Structure 1
Amino acid sequence: MEYELNLIVIVALVSAGLISGFINTLAGGGSMLSLPALMLVGMPPEIANATNRVAVLLQSITGMAGFNKHGALDQGAIAPILVPTLVGALVGALIASYLPSVVLKPVLLGSMVLMALVMLFKPATIIPDSDTTPYTFAERPAAWMGMFIAGLYGGFVQAGVGFILIAALAGGLRYDLVRTNALKNVCTAALSVVALGVFIARDQVLWVPGLTLAAGSVVGAHLSVKFAIKASQRTLKWILLVMVLIACGAAMFSG
């Protein structure tokens, strides 16, 4: 397909990528900025969605490596967490092949509203203290289902999956927000590999604008990790709450 790519568009994509990469690594909802930026280039929504996964994958890898460098990535938890996440993603992808993604809009909105209310009135339910010892699936089997649901949602549709993963990792397994974001980036990277493979096979990825967006996203993710490591849990909590509320508004008023 034809699309416009000049200096102004390149600057816009890199800028959108930088901001979305920072937001996605720290909380979630960055695709609310990167997807419209890609569509402004002239891409139809399905092509923009596929192309956006290039940036999501590279920013997730950058975030994962950054958190690991600072000792915030629980490497022993990666394999157990990826099993239900990827099983859910496979089921979600299969469902998506039969049902339109608009079906999940009420689910996303309901989840975001519930998450915002819990964070306002019972924040410890989702956001444990930084010295909290996380659970394993053996200690909290219900958390396995939480990760499965997060993966199912991610396999179905990308938008908002970061928030669902945070709820499952912090609320279910009781990781603090820094370690939650580290593991969230692992899950997002794995989900993106699966999704991107499908989109590449269907020839829906436009590499030049995708990599242009990704260039900004990688820088944004790098800066986000540095910020997250130094920030307090309280600061991270309020950033997450603001992004959840913005996502609620976007889901409520989008067409």
Structure 2
Amino acid sequence: MITFAVLFIAAFCAGVQNALAGGGSFLTFPALMLTGLDARAANITSTVALFPGQITTGFAGRKNISDLPQLSFKALFIISLIGGVLGAILLLITPVSVFEFLVPWLVLFATLVFLWGSFFRKIHENPKPLGPLKAIMAQFAISIYGGYFGGGIGILMLAALTIAGLDVRTAGATKNVLGGVMNASAVLIFLFSSDVAWTQVMVASIASIAGGQVGAYALKRVNEKRLRICIIILGFGLAIGLFLKAHGS
């Protein structure tokens, strides 16, 4: 019961975290392992469990989603769906160790890019937004990674969407919907896997839905500068945690 209480709290915090910046799976993944699941089962179960919270969070912030300057939201939707399917299939046929090495570096890079874009880019530079081809490639790669593992996916999407021309609040709402889309395709595949622990899914799903609503409410009301600072702190914390996990600490 204690481990399931920890799972409930972790999933609630993951729901809040996913709504604001992403990285909620980094909380639910170790909590699910505490309930007795191995790493593979915890990864798959986490994706299924957090999905209902992502859907309700995305729905709550649907009015704030936006097209990119040169790429429609519909195109991003389709890219995310396809990438999520490929990532989920990749997870089922290959070991997780391949991505475990890359994940911390990806999250750290995305956080540094977001930090530069938020506080160190000169205003008079007026940089050209990320072009449509590069935006497609970035979203496709992120979607494959999201279907495969997903840790830090929100940080990566926030970095890509803000570089592509969206403000952080709009990017946050847009990545919430796209995150739900790519996980929807992965969940459809994972539903046929024997690795899904349904008792844990029920506990974590309820908690993540509640946390997601709190996070969606905060996303619309938090000061943007403070939100950027929180996202950067979260990104560095997530990267450190993933580095420690990758080295078995």
Distance in 2 separating the partners of 1:164 and 1:120: 12
Distance 1:93 1:14, change over 3 A: closer
* 1:88 counterpart (71, 83, 88): 83
Matched residue, 1:115 = 110
Maintained 8 Å contact 2:88/2:148: yes
How has the CA–CA distance of structure 1 residues 179 and 55 changed in structure 2, closer, same or farther, with 3 Å as cutoff?
A: farther
Structure-1 separation of matches of 2:48 and 2:94: 24
Q: Which residue of 1 aligns with 2:138?
A: 146
Show the counterpart of 1:72.
64
| Identity between Structure 1 and Structure 2 (%) | 24
Corresponding position of 1:103? 98
Q: Is 2:35 the counterpart of 1:41? A: yes
Report the CA distance between 1:125 and its aligned residue: 8.4
Q: 1:56 to 1:148 in 2, by over 3 A?
A: same
For 1:91 and 1:124, the matched residues in 2 are separated by 35
Q: Is contact 2:59–2:177 with CA below 8 Å preserved after alignment? A: no
CA distance in 2, matches of 1:225, 1:155: 23
The alignment's C-alpha RMSD in Å is 2.6
Aligned match of 1:167: 159
CA–CA separation in structure 2 for the residues paired with 1:84 and 1:94? 16
Question: What's the secondary structure of 2:191's corresponding residue?
Answer: helix
Aligned counterparts of 2:55 and 2:207: Cα–Cα separation in 1: 14
- Structure 1 residue runs of 5 or longer lacking an equivalent are 1-5
Contact 1:50 1:205 in 2 (8 A): yes
Q: 232-241 or 38-47: which moved more?
A: 38-47
- Equivalent pair of 2:48/2:190 in contact (CA under 8 Å): no
Query: Structure 2 CA distance, aligned partners of 1:11 and 1:95?
Result: 32
Q: Distance in 2 between matches of 1:48 and 1:42?
A: 9
Superposition map of 1:90-239 within 5 A: 90-123=85-118, 140-171=132-163, 173-239=164-230
For 1:55, which of 49, 57, 71 is the aligned residue?
49
Cα offset, 1:218, TM superposition: 0.8
Aligned to 1:246: 237
User: Using the alignment, how far apart are the partners of 1:73 and 1:86 within structure 2?
Assistant: 17
Find the aligned partners of 2:152 and 2:34 in 1 and give their Cα distance. Answer: 21
For 1:199, the aligned partner's letter is F
Cα shift at 1:78: 3.4
Shift of 1:186: 1.5
Question: 1:15 and 1:97, CA in 2 relative to 1: closer, same or farther beyond 3 A?
Answer: closer
Unaligned runs of 5+ in 2: none
TM-score normalised by L of structure 1: 0.83
Q: In the comparison of the two structures, how many residue pairs are matched?
A: 239
* Distance (Å, rounded) in 1 between the aligned partners of 2:78 and 2:209: 26
Instruction: Report the CA distance between 1:118 and its aligned residue.
Output: 3.0
Q: Which residue identity does 2:97 align to in structure 1?
A: V
Q: Distance in 1 between matches of 2:89 and 2:198?
A: 25
Q: 2:5 aligns with which of 11, 25, 33?
A: 11
Letter aligned with residue 143 of structure 1: A
- 1: CA distance, partners of 2:161 / 2:149: 19
Per-residue displacement from partner, 1:175-224 (whole Å, max 9, x unpaired)? 12221121212222122222222222122222222111111111111011
C-alpha displacement of 1:248: 1.2
